[in-house]
């Protein structure tokens, strides 16, 4: 994956907001005992390359443990990358000290998966949302309450509730508080790490719609990390599929969903349960993968998917397939070929139509509170 | 405020919401409340003692007088008023315990906070240092300090404080480490919060409840420890009013004038029980689970 990949077909000639090249994050495995020698590396992220464009969303999907959360945490510099480059608006941020990183913290924010543990139970909602603005001094003290209330209103919460504690809110409302916090500094990029997977299905739709409205309103780019394929398809025009620390396929959402080229993408899509398809009696050939995901401490040689792949040949063990342009997307497989595994209407997110959607968002705060 | 009565028994969440921090005043038992009140009573009266009792270190009456309306707990072998001495002794016991705990919280808390927040080699270094102090036997060290610097209350307290802070260091460090791994602390880091602000605004407040609980339970242990050391002669030299020393000196008159040793002994007992019950109550108030 070392070769320079071409820019995304959707770039429209503009420079990407975030350019990630060969990003690597390894976690050392230490031996127990007094002298803790490093006895291995968990290769959580191992050479990942992608672009995120202004005001657009890139979806990052893959099963648990494939490294998608690590990617998000490295991009926000909660983790330091082992190697590789991350350019935000053309400026390298992979190696910045925490002080030099400060101005970029305004531009890149994170929405956490768990709305419970991501809000400090000892701080009021107002304090939680205003902390970033206090640190960066973007809002004068006497205007802080007004700004917090404005943000609460934007995310569909009652602005009068800034003095309450997180424990007084439901999961969906807490996630809205987290979203308000991430919006506080007017970021250009939000890394959304499974923003709805901890919520009830009915609340998921509200929060996804809220994120979409915010994206339109504030022109925010999202790196949307999720394992729910329907939500990712709904939210992200461009999608990257990760397996064991590497991107195996990246491209336009319809290309990925309708003509997946990588065997792993095909297996992932075929494994996703889909109500609509079941409802119409649609019978689907499910691709069953053999074995377990190999350990990221000791990944297989060559193609990392070969141990579970039905197409695997000798070359797959000998040579790592580069991410190459095939059929309008980039795919890392020696034997890439299209295979439709889901019906076109399958794995679509059951979001209400536009009119209803807006209503849901604007009223949910008042009805739920 | 919504009516409390609406809450069905067993659904603890609502009452917890109302009192913000998860403190559940209703969960505190009667005995604990009594202990708390008793402790407050003992503290306020003993703190105010200089205002209404006699001078504890001068002879005010003939020796060996039995309790009477003039001398509530009688007089001792040199004619000092036992009640006055007990009140002053309680004051000393309590203030000494608080002094040791306060120093332990400051030293241990700072060590634990830095170790837990920084992690890595700083953590390893500070915690090994803590372990080294933890290995020292408290009373023996107090005896050694008293032997080296001379027997006085201050030296005894230094000896105790030296072995007391490591417990707080470990406690705070554990809490801070657990907190530091929580996403809301990551969120604070993402906001660009400085390490200092992170420590004091985001990590330390979370470690406070266990510190308060530990401190409130420690009062009783310290009262007994200090009384024991004072009984052995490791405290202020006579005639200072110290409960342990008074009991030791009065032990000779246990049968002839039992009020002389028993009054300070009972005072230690009551203070320790009250502190223990109050500590239990505070734990009920703060502990999760």
The CATH number for B121's domain is 1.10.3720.10
- Report yes or no on B139 lying in a domain: yes
Q: Which of B16, B185, B190 sits opposite A105 (nearest CB)?
A: B190
Report whether A245 contacts A320 (CB < 8 A). no
pLDDT of residue A117: 92
pLDDT over 90 percentage in chain B: 29
- Report yes or no on A13 lying in a domain: no
CA-nearest residue of chain B to A101?
A: B192
Same domain, A302 and A328: yes
pLDDT of residue A366: 39
Query: Quick one: average pLDDT of B124-132?
Result: 93
This prediction has a pTM of 0.79
**b or e along A61-75 (b: 16 or more beta carbons within 10 Å of the residue's beta carbon)?**
bbeeebbbbbbbbbb
Single residue among A130, A152, A177 that ends a domain in this structure: A177
Same domain, A140 and A66: no
Closest C-alpha among A269, A268, A341, A342 to residue A308: A268
Structural domain of B183: 80-286
Same domain, A267 and A343: yes
Query: Quick one: average pLDDT of B49-75?
Result: 82
Cβ–Cβ gap A118/B186 under 8 Å? yes
For chains A and B, count residue pairs whose Cβ atoms are closer than 8 Å: 61
Question: What is the spatial distance between Cα A224 and Cα A227, in angstroms, rounded to a whole number?
Answer: 10
Q: Which residues of A touch B197 (CB under 8 A)?
A: 135
- Report yes or no on A250 lying in a domain: yes
Distance from CA of B174 to the nearest CA of A (A): 18
- Report yes or no on B13 lying in a domain: no
B187 touches chain A (CB under 8 A): yes
Report whether A262 contacts A241 (CB < 8 A). yes
B189 touches chain A (CB under 8 A): yes
- Report yes or no on B173 lying in a domain: yes
Structural domain of A149: 122-177
Q: How many CA atoms lie within 13 A of A51 on its CB side?
A: 22
Report whether B259 contacts B253 (CB < 8 A). no
- Report yes or no on B267 lying in a domain: yes
For residue A6, what are the contacts with CB-CB under 8 A and spacing of at least 6? A325, A330
Q: Is the per-residue pLDDT at B25 higher than 90?
A: no
Question: What is the spatial distance between Cα B189 and Cα B181, in angstroms, rounded to a whole number?
Answer: 11
- Report yes or no on A197 lying in a domain: yes
What token pair was written down for A87?
Answer: 């350019």
Q: Which residues of B touch A167 (CB under 8 A)?
A: 16-17, 20
B64: three-class secondary structure by DSSP: coil
- Report yes or no on B8 lying in a domain: no
If you average pLDDT over each of B142-146, B230-234, B258-262, B284-288, which comes out highest? B258-262
A39: three-class secondary structure by DSSP: strand
- Report yes or no on A95 lying in a domain: yes
The number of angstroms, rounded, from the C-alpha of A42 to the middle of its chain's C-alpha atoms is 20
Same domain, A191 and A324: yes
Q: Determine the Cα angle at A352 with ends A351 and A355, to 5°.
A: 140
More confident residue, B287 or B280: B280
pLDDT level of residue B15 (50, 70, 90 thresholds): very low
pLDDT of residue A364: 39
Report whether A300 contacts A264 (CB < 8 A). no
Closest C-alpha among A94, A114, A104 to residue A174: A114
**Domain count of chain B?**
1
B205 touches chain A (CB under 8 A): yes
- Report yes or no on A5 lying in a domain: no
Neighbours of A344 (CB within 10 A): 10
Q: Which residues of A touch B206 (CB under 8 A)?
A: 122
Same domain, A100 and A236: yes
> For the domain that residue A51 is a member of, what is the CATH number?
3.40.50.300
- Report yes or no on A114 lying in a domain: no
Residues B192-235 have pLDDT tens digits of 898 899 999 999 988 888 898 899 889 999 999 889 888 888 88
- Report yes or no on B59 lying in a domain: no
Same domain, A227 and A268: yes
Q: Which residues of chain A have pLDDT under 70?
A: 1-13, 274-285, 350-369
Same domain, A359 and A327: yes
B19 touches chain A (CB under 8 A): no
- Report yes or no on A2 lying in a domain: no
pLDDT of residue A132: 94
Parallel/antiparallel/unpaired status of strands A221-226 and A189-193: parallel
A119 touches chain B (CB under 8 A): yes
pLDDT of residue A282: 57
Q: Which residues of A touch B21 (CB under 8 A)?
A: 122
CA-nearest residue of chain A to B206?
A: A122
- Report yes or no on A161 lying in a domain: yes
- Report yes or no on B142 lying in a domain: yes
Same domain, A203 and A238: yes
- Class of residue A34 by CB neighbours under 10 A (exposed 0-12, middle 13-18, buried 19+): exposed
Same domain, A168 and A207: no
**Domain count of chain A?**
2
pLDDT of residue A15: 86
Q: Which of B187, B189, B192 sits opposite A181 (nearest CB)?
A: B187
């Amino acid at each position: 994956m070392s070769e320079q990949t071409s820019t995304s077909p959707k770039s429209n000639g503009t420079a990407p907001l975030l350019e990630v090249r060969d990003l690597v994050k390894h976690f050392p495995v230490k031996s127990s005992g007094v002298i803790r020698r490093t006895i291995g590396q968990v290769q959580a992220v191992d050479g990942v390359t992608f672009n995120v464009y202004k005001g657009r969303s890139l979806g990052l999907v893959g099963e648990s443990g494939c490294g998608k959360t690590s990617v998000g945490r490295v991009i926000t510099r909660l983790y330091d990358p082992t190697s590789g480059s991350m350019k935000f608006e053309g400026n390298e941020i992979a190696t910045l000290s925490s002080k030099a990183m400060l101005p970029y913290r305004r531009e890149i924010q994170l929405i956490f998966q768990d709305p419970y543990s991501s809000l400090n139970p000892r701080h009021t909602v107002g304090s939680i949302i205003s902390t970033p603005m206090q640190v960066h001094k973007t809002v004068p003290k006497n205007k802080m309450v007004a700004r917090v209330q404005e943000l609460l209103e934007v995310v569909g919460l009652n602005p009068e509730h800034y003095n309450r504690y997180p424990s007084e809110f439901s999961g969906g409302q807490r996630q809205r508080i987290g979203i308000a916090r991430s919006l506080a500094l007017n970021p250009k990029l939000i890394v959304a790490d499974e923003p709805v997977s901890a919520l009830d299905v009915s609340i998921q739709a509200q929060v996804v719609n809220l994120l979409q409205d915010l994206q339109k309103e504030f022109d925010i780019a999202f790196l949307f990390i999720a394992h729910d394929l329907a939500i990712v398809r709904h939210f992200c025009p461009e999608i990257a599929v990760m397996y064991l620390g590497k991107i195996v396929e990246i491209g336009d959402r319809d290309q990925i969903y309708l003509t997946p080229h990588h065997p792993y993408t095909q297996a992932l899509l075929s494994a996703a349960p889909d109500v609509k398809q079941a409802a119409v009696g649609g019978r689907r050939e499910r691709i069953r993968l053999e074995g377990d995901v190999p350990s990221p401490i000791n990944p297989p040689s060559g193609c990392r998917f070969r141990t579970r792949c039905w197409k695997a040949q000798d070359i797959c063990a000998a040579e790592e397939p580069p991410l190459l342009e095939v059929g309008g997307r980039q795919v890392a497989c020696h034997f890439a070929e299209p295979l439709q595994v889901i019906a076109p209407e399958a794995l679509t997110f059951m979001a209400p139509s536009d009119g209803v959607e807006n209503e849901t968002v604007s009223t949910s705060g008042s009805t739920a509170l | 405020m919504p009516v409390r009565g609406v809450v069905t028994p067993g659904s603890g969440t609502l009452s917890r919401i109302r009192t913000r921090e998860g403190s559940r005043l209703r969960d505190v038992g009667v005995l604990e409340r009594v202990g708390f009140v008793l402790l407050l009573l003992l503290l306020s009266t003993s703190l105010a003692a200089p205002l209404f009792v006699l001078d504890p270190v001068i002879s005010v009456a003939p020796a060996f007088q039995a309790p009477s309306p003039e001398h509530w707990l009688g007089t001792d072998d040199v004619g000092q008023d036992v009640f006055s001495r007990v009140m002053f002794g309680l004051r000393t016991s309590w203030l000494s315990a608080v002094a040791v705990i306060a120093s332990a919280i400051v030293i241990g808390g700072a060590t634990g906070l830095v170790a837990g927040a920084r992690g890595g080699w700083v953590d390893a270094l500070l915690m090994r240092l803590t372990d080294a102090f933890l290995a020292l036997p408290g009373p023996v060290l107090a005896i050694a300090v008293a032997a080296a610097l001379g027997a006085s209350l201050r030296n005894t307290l230094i000896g105790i404080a030296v072995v007391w802070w490591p417990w707080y260091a470990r406690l705070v460090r554990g809490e801070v480490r657990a907190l530091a791994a929580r996403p809301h602390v990551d969120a604070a880091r993402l906001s660009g919060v400085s390490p200092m602000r992170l420590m004091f605004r985001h990590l330390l407040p979370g470690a406070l409840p266990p510190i308060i609980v530990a401190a409130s339970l420690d009062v009783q242990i310290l009262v007994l420890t200090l009384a024991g050391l004072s009984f052995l002669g490791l405290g202020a030299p006579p005639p200072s009013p110290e409960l342990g020393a008074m009991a030791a000196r009065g032990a000779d008159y246990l049968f002839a004038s039992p009020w002389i040793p028993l009054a300070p002994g009972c005072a230690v007992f009551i203070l320790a029980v009250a502190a223990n019950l109050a500590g239990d109550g505070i734990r009920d108030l703060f502990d999760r689970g």
